[in-house]
């Protein structure tokens, strides 16, 4: 072999070597989702080793939880001990250091990660910011870090700085546990899955025609009878208040607020079947296991109905530390409009009297009716307008309702069915799901803006976004994962990241790099042909 041949041989060997192990050196090339506000690279490498520890700046339970959460994510795949300890001084080289700072731009949920070749420094104003930083940290390590068994290293991270904070304070998903019931373990996994992408709200749709899923001690037949079945006639189920509290705590530890929804006056057959007195004719309905909507209504003209609602709202408020209670209010086609409007006004007052802020589906924004409230002669328009102003309306379909909400002075949560409904089929071949709103391929779920979606609605009117998963066709965790992933990843980015410069062509590359990450976590995702999945 001549010199040239030897030289080529060395180059070839080096490039084979580099395939086996090429350290990451450009932090800006990481495929982070949601995309951070700012990433600056300094072209060196930090290595996590069996000497590395997690240090927290104080002993508060919140910092301990976040520190331990981070360590727990690192231990199984690295096999390292990853001790968590508090320190008042600069921690030893090779460590990750979590501390609270005072940095106005970062707000309540933002964070900064500074990575040098011997230390990772994570700062935030609040523990929530540190928690979201930890979710970013996971994405800076190879996907195999997500596996439950020991993987080979090295565990390297490119150096530089990430500064990041959310666009919207409300970034959520809804899980319908009424049409099909899902276990406490399933809901915990759902919490873990949405927290990966920095969502901070889980809306639980707890009651509907097909099932009542939360124990109400003063009305026990709601769950005993009303929770006994589901779509298709399966056995249904419900959460005891203790189980619900456990879910709330689990979510809270992950900086996720649970919003419970009791849907009324429509979508209420499970309650109507459980208590005859909630029906205007005094007769209990039969349990329902089909998928029609719009046929049921609580008896809005009877006092017992408001006693019932007061009891339910009192019990729910007592076990819900979050600020919101969702009253449903959608598709009440079996309730006359002149009954619906005063009903919603009265329910708002009940919810407020128990210290909670009302969220309702967009229909609840309709308050314009020249009618006196029967019991006190107050003009519904004036009283209802005041109550509506402090309520939140969840847009899903009708721009007229979105404008009504804004005119009332309400903020909007955006859940446009044609973009965000995770029960919509990807295309006509998708085995699960519906398509009444649209087929929503992965690009379509990503290519839209909450700010321009409804003409005349502006950024200031919008509190945030929420991606609902209705469960008429979805029966287990694998199916949940298939419908929500990967669309929910792009929706989470719409909620968190700055909109400027957003492009599907750029995003789909990043998303493709999350395939191995989802696989490592056992997520059953839809492998859309639109995405260049990395093997
Ligand atoms: C409409 S969206 C509903 C739900 C259904 C869903 C199915 C909304 C507020 N109501 O009752 O489950 O469509 O996609």
243 by Cβ neighbours in 10 Å (0-12 / 13-18 / 19+) ranks as: middle
How much of the chain, in percent, has pLDDT values that exceed 70? 93
Going by alpha carbons, the residue nearest to atom 5 of ligand 1 is 470
Domain boundary among 164, 187, 214: 164
Q: What is the pLDDT of residue 126?
A: 98
Which residues, 6 or more positions from 391, have their beta carbon under 8 angstroms from its beta carbon? 348, 357, 358, 359, 360, 364, 408, 410
Higher-confidence position of 373 and 157: 157
Please give the number of the atom of ligand 1 that sits closest to the Cα of 423.
14
What total number of domains does the chain contain? Answer: 2
The 10s digit of each residue's pLDDT in 228-257 is 999 999 999 999 999 999 999 999 999 999
**Does residue 481 carry a pLDDT above 80?**
yes
CATH of the domain at 110: 3.30.379.10
**Does residue 9 carry a pLDDT above 50?**
no
Query: Do 86 and 127 lie in a common domain?
Result: yes
Mean pLDDT of 82-96: 93
Query: Do 158 and 202 lie in a common domain?
Result: no
Average pLDDT, the chain: 94
Is 218 part of a structural domain of the chain?
yes
Q: Is 40 helix (H, G, I), strand (E, B) or coil?
A: strand
Measured in Å, residue 427 CA sits from the centre of ligand 1 at 19
Q: What is the pLDDT of residue 368?
A: 72
Is 158 part of a structural domain of the chain?
yes
Query: Do 399 and 352 lie in a common domain?
Result: yes
Query: Do 148 and 53 lie in a common domain?
Result: yes
Please give the number of the atom of ligand 1 that sits closest to the Cα of 394.
9
Query: Which pLDDT band holds residue 425 (cuts at 50, 70, 90)?
Result: very high
Q: What is the pLDDT of residue 18?
A: 43
Domain range for 75: 21-164
Query: Do 186 and 141 lie in a common domain?
Result: no
Q: What is the pLDDT of residue 331?
A: 96
Query: Do 70 and 117 lie in a common domain?
Result: yes
Q: What is the pLDDT of residue 367?
A: 87
Q: What is the pLDDT of residue 6?
A: 45
Distance, CA of 535 to CA of 524 (rounded, Å): 15
**Does residue 107 carry a pLDDT above 80?**
yes
Query: Do 245 and 368 lie in a common domain?
Result: yes
Mutate to test the pocket of ligand 1, among 205, 270, 292, 331 (most ligand atoms within 8 A of CB): 331
Q: What is the pLDDT of residue 329?
A: 98
Measured in Å, residue 354 CA sits from the centre of ligand 1 at 27
**Does residue 452 carry a pLDDT above 80?**
yes
The 10s digit of each residue's pLDDT in 322-373 is 999 999 999 999 999 999 999 999 999 999 999 999 999 999 999 876 545 4
Mutate to test the pocket of ligand 1, among 440, 470, 472, 474 (most ligand atoms within 8 A of CB): 470
Query: Which pLDDT band holds residue 459 (cuts at 50, 70, 90)?
Result: very high
Pocket of ligand 1 (CB under 6 A): 293, 330-331, 361, 396, 421, 423, 434, 470, 472
The 10s digit of each residue's pLDDT in 365-412 is 998 765 454 555 556 567 778 888 999 999 999 999 999 999 999 999
Q: What is the pLDDT of residue 24?
A: 80
Write b or e for each residue in 391-403: b if 16 or more Cβ atoms lie within 10 A of its Cβ, otherwise e: bbbbbbbeeebbb
Please give the number of the atom of ligand 1 that sits closest to the Cα of 291.
12
Q: What is the pLDDT of residue 382?
A: 74
**Does residue 313 carry a pLDDT above 60?**
yes
Domain boundary among 164, 192, 216: 164
Q: What is the pLDDT of residue 4?
A: 43
Query: Do 130 and 64 lie in a common domain?
Result: yes
Phi-psi label, residue 409: left if phi above 0, alpha if psi -120 to 50, beta otherwise: left
Distance, CA of 447 to CA of 465 (rounded, Å): 14
CATH of the domain at 300: 3.20.20.80
């Amino acid at each position: 072999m001549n010199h040239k041949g030897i030289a080529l041989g060395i180059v070839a060997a080096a490039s084979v070597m580099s395939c086996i192990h090429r350290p990451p050196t450009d932090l800006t090339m990481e495929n982070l989702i949601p995309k951070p506000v700012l990433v600056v690279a300094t072209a060196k490498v930090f290595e996590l080793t069996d000497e590395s520890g997690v240090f927290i700046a104080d002993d508060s339970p919140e910092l301990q939880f976040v520190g331990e959460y981070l360590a727990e994510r690192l231990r199984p795949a690295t096999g390292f001990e990853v001790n968590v300890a508090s320190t008042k001084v600069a921690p030893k080289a090779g460590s990750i250091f979590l501390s609270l700072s005072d940095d106005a731009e970062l707000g309540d949920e933002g964070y900064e990660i500074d990575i040098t070749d011997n230390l990772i420094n994570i700062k935030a104003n609040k523990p929530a910011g540190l928690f979201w930083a930890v979710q970013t940290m996971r994405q800076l390590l190879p996907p195999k870090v997500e596996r439950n068994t020991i993987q080979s290293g090295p565990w390297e991270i490119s150096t530089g700085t990430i500064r990041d904070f959310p666009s919207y304070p409300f970034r959520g998903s809804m899980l319908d546990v009424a049409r099909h019931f899902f276990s406490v373990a399933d809901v915990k996994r759902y919490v873990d899955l949405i927290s990966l992408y920095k969502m901070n709200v889980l809306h639980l749709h707890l009651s509907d025609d097909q099932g009542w899923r939360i124990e109400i001690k003063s009305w026990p037949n709601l769950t005993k009878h009303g929770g006994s079945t589901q779509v298709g006639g399966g056995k249904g189920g419900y959460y005891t208040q203790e189980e619900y509290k456990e879910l709330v705590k689990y979510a809270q530890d992950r900086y996720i607020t649970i919003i419970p929804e009791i849907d009324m006056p429509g979508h209420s057959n499970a309650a109507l079947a459980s208590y005859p007195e909630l029906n205007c004719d005094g007769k209990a309905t039969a349990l329902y296991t089909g998928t029609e909507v719009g046929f049921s209504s609580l008896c809005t003209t009877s006092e017992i109905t408001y006693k019932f609602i007061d009891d339910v709202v009192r019990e729910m408020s007592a076990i819900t530390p979050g600020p919101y209670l969702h009253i449903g209010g959608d598709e009440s086609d079996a309730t006359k409009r002149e009954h619906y409007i005063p009903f919603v006004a009265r329910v708002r007052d009940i919810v407020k009297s128990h210290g909670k802020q009302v969220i309702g589906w967009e229909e609840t924004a309709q308050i314009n009716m020249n009618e006196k409230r029967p019991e006190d002669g107050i003009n519904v328009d004036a009283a209802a307008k005041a109550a509506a102003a402090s309520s939140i309306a969840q847009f899903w379909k009708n721009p007229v309702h979105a404008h009504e909400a804004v005119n009332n002075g309400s903020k909007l949560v955006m859940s446009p069915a044609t973009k965000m409904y995770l029960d919509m089929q990807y295309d006509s071949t998708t085995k699960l799901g519906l398509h009444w709103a649209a087929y929503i391929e992965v690009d379509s779920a990503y290519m839209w803006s909450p700010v321009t979606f409804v003409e005349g609605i502006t950024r200031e009117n919008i509190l945030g976004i929420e991606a609902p998963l209705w469960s008429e066709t979805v029966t287990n965790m694998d199916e949940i994962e298939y419908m929500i992933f990967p669309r929910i990843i792009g929706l989470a980015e719409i909620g968190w990241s700055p909109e400027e410069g957003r492009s599907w062509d750029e995003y789909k590359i990043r998303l493709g790099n999350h395939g191995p990450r989802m696989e490592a976590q056992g997520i059953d995702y839809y492998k859309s042909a639109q995405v260049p999945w990395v093997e």
